[in-house]
Chain A
Amino acid sequence: MKQLFNQSDAVNKLLERYGVKFGIYKNGTFKEQLFPFDSIPRVIEKEEFDYLERGLIQRVTALNRFLADIYGEKNIVKDGVIPEEFIFSSSGYMAECEGALPPKAIYSHISGIDLVQAKDKTWYVLEDNLRVPSGASYPMIARNLCRRASPSTFHDIPVADNRNYAALLKEVMDYVNTGGINVILTPGRYNAAYFEHSFLAEKTGSILATGQELIVEDDYLYYIGCNDEKQKVGAVYRRISDEYLDPMNFCADSVIGVPHLYSAFKKGNVALLNAPGNGIADDKGIYYFVPKMIEYYLNEKSILNNAPTYLPFYEEDKKYVLENFDNLVIKDVAEAGGYGVVFGKDLEGQKKEDFINLVKSEPRRFIAQEVIDFIDIDIMENGERVPRKADLRAFVLTGKEVKVWKSGLTRFSRNPDSFVVNSSQGGGFKDTWVLLR
C-alpha cells in the first residue's frame, strides 16, 4: 500500500493528462482547475458498508415515494407529517410538475447522499442531493490509475471494483428509456462539471448533446444530425437545472435547454433523469423530515441518522438556535456547494447581530445543525501524512432495483482548520474503498 501512497504525484499527473478537471468562475473569468487527488483511500469495512447500503436504499426509496406523493396526492401533508409551508414555499417545489408521472414512476434515479462519520464512528447524513449530483467519475478514473500505480495493493486487499459506475448508470438509463437513444444533456463546456458529463457519455456509450442538438417534434424528442436526419431519444440524463431545461415551460430566458422537452416528458415519450421537481426533496428544510418520511411511507425506523437539526420555523427550535447560536452551523436552504454555510462561532459584533435578525425575520430560510466533529482522514502533504476533514458522497442508483455504488466520492479539506470540503472551495478528493470481506 505504501507504494500506492508514494505515487500521488504520478497519479495526479495522469489525471491531468486525462483532463480530470472542474471549471470555476473567478472574477467573471472561467478557469479550469485540477481536482487534487490524494492516494490514501477512505476504507469502509464490509459490515459498515452493509449498514450504509441498507440505510441509503431505505432513504432513497422513501424520498422517491415522497416525490411521487408531493406531485400527486400529497398525503404526507394532509396527514400533518410535514407542514405545507415547507412544501409550497420551497424554491425546489415546481407547480408545473403536478400530476406528471415519470416513466416507471422513478423521480430520483441518481441520488448523491452526503455523509460524515463522527469520531465515535456514527455516520450522519448531511444532505440529500437529488437534482444533478456530480462526482462519481472522479473516483472511477482515479481507481483505474491507482491499480496501475500499485497492482499488488489491489491484489492483496479485497476492494470492491468501482469502475462499474458507468455500467450501473447505463442500466438505469436503459430501464427507463421509452424507446430511442440515451443522451447526456450538458449546458456546455463552461459548466463546472463538464469533464464528468463528457466522461460519463463516453463510458455509458451515450450521446453528449447540448440543447441546440435536440429538437421536440409532435411531443417526441430527437437528436438532429448534420444532414438534418433525426434519431429518437428515449432517455436524457440531464445535467442542467430544472429551471433551464425547457424555455417554453420553465425559465423563458434559457438558451441551454430544449423547447418543449418537458411536454415530451409529461406525455411519457422521454425519460428525464433525474425528474424535474426533485428540488423539493433535497431542500435543506425538508431534510429535517426525512426520518419522519421513512416512518410514514415505509413504516420503518430510519437506519441512518440525520445530523441533529433545528428548524427556526418552529418556535421551540428557534429559541434553542438563538440560545446556542455559537455552537451551531446555520445553513441557508437555498444555497449549495458549500455556500450559505455559517458557523455561529465565526460571527462577531454587528455581523452576528444582523445574521441573527435575518434568522428571526426569515426562519423558513434557515436550518441549524449541531457541529459534528467528524473524523479526520490522512492525506499526503509534502511527503508527510497529515489529518484533514473529509466527507463522503454516496451514490444510489434507482432503476429496476435500488443499488448503492460500492464506492463514493470522498472529499477533503486542504485547509487544516476547515470543515468545508467542496471542490469549489479548494478541496481535494480520495478514492473510497469498500472491502469485500
Chain B
Amino acid sequence: MGIIALEKASGLYWLGRYNERVYTTLREFFVGYDRMIDESEDSYKELCSMLDIPDVYGSKMEFINKYPFDEKNVDSIISNLTRTYDNAMVMRDVIGTETISYVELALSCMKAARYSEAPLLELQEVIDYILAFWGYVDDSIDDRQIRSIIKAGRRIERLDLYLRFERPVSMLEREFAKLKSRMELTGLSYDKTVISYLEQAITENKINYSEAILKLENIVKL
C-alpha cells in the first residue's frame, strides 16, 4: 500500500485498542455478572475500580443494565464499541468494506441486545463478531504493516487491561511476548524503553501495576 499517513496510523491503532477493550471488558462483565448473582449489592464496585471507571451506578442492577448499554456514559461498553466503529469506518480504503462489516454487525447487535429479554445471551454474538473481525483482518489484509498497527493496538489494550485486573504473571508474560514481537512490525516509532521496563518487571515478577500501566499507555504517541 505504500506509506501510511499519521491520521490513518492513529485510526488503525485506536481501532485495535477499542475493539479489544470491548472484547475483554465484555468477557470480564460476563464473569462479574455471574459473581454478582450470588454476591453482595456492592460487588460491582470492584469491577469499576479495576477498570478505573467512575462508579456512577447506584446499585448492582443499575450497573448491570447500564455499563454495557448506556450510550451517554463514555465509559460504557457500547461507547467503546461506537469508538471502534468511528475508527473503522474511516479505514475503508485500508481494511476493506467486508472487514468493517463485522464492526457494523457488532454495533447493531449491541444496540438490539439492550432490548432483549436475555441481554447476556445476545451479547455473546457481539463477541462472535469481534472475533470474526480479527479473523477477517488476518484473512484479507495483505499489508503486514497495516495488520500490525491494528494488532499492536489490540496487544497494548489487552496487556493494559490484564495489568489492571492483576492477572497471573504467566498470562502477562504471554501477552507481553505477543506485544513485543508485534511492535517491531508496525513501522511506528515507539518508546523501546517501555518494552525493556515491562520485560524486566514481568520476568522478575516485580510489577508496579500503576507505573506499568502508565508507561504502557505512553508507548506510542499517535
Contact = CB atoms under 8 A, between A and B. Distances in A.
Interface string B61-81: 000000000000000000000
Contacts of B118: none
Contacts of B7: 210, 212-213
Contact of B187 (A17, A202, A227): A227
Interface string B116-129: 00000000000000
A208 B97 CA distance: 14
Interface of B: 2-10, 86, 89-90, 92-93, 96-98, 100-101, 104-105, 108, 187-189, 222
Contacts of A209: 5
B93 A206 contact: yes
B150 to A, nearest CB: 14
A231 B89 contact: no
25 contacts: A17-B105, A18-B104, A19-B89, A181-B2, A184-B93, A189-B89, A198-B93, A199-B92, A199-B97, A201-B92, A202-B96, A207-B5, A208-B90, A210-B7, A212-B7, A213-B5, A213-B6, A223-B3, A226-B3, A226-B6, A226-B10, A226-B188, A227-B3, A227-B189, A229-B3
Nearest to A13: B108
Interface in A215-236: 223-227, 229-231
B101 A225 contact: no
Instruction: Say whether chain A's binding surface is mostly helix, strand, loop, or mixed.
Output: mixed
A9 interface: no
A212 B101 CA distance: 27
Contact of B101 (A19, A194, A207): A19
Given A201-B93, A226-B9, A226-B10, 6 more contacts: A184-B93, A202-B93, A208-B92, A226-B222, A227-B187, A227-B189
Contacts of A226: 3-6, 8-10, 187-188, 222
A82 to B, nearest CB: 41
B15 to A, nearest CB: 13
Of residues A181, A208, A223, which shows the largest number of chain B Cβ atoms within 10 Å of its Cβ? Answer: A208
B13 to A, nearest CB: 10
Contacts of B97: 18-19, 199, 202
A210 B6 CA distance: 11
A188 B93 CA distance: 13
Contacts, number: 75
Contacts of B108: 16
Contacts of A208: 90, 92-93
A16 B104 contact: yes
Given A208-B92, A213-B8, A231 B2 contact: yes
B93 A224 contact: no
Contact of B104 (A17, A181, A210): A17
Q: 10 closest A-B pairs (Cβ-Cβ)?
A: A225-B3, A198-B92, A201-B93, A213-B5, A208-B93, A226-B9, A226-B6, A202-B93, A17-B101, A229-B3
Contacts of B8: 213, 226
Contacts of B5: 207, 209, 213, 223-226
B90 A189 contact: yes
B93 A207 contact: yes
A19 B188 CA distance: 30
Of residues B2, B93, B104, B187, which shows the largest number of chain A Cβ atoms within 10 Å of its Cβ? Answer: B93
Contacts of A223: 3, 5
A8 to B, nearest CB: 18
A207 B93 CA distance: 7
Contacts of A225: 3-6
A163 to B, nearest CB: 13
B100 A19 contact: yes
Nearest to B90: A189
A230 B108 CA distance: 39
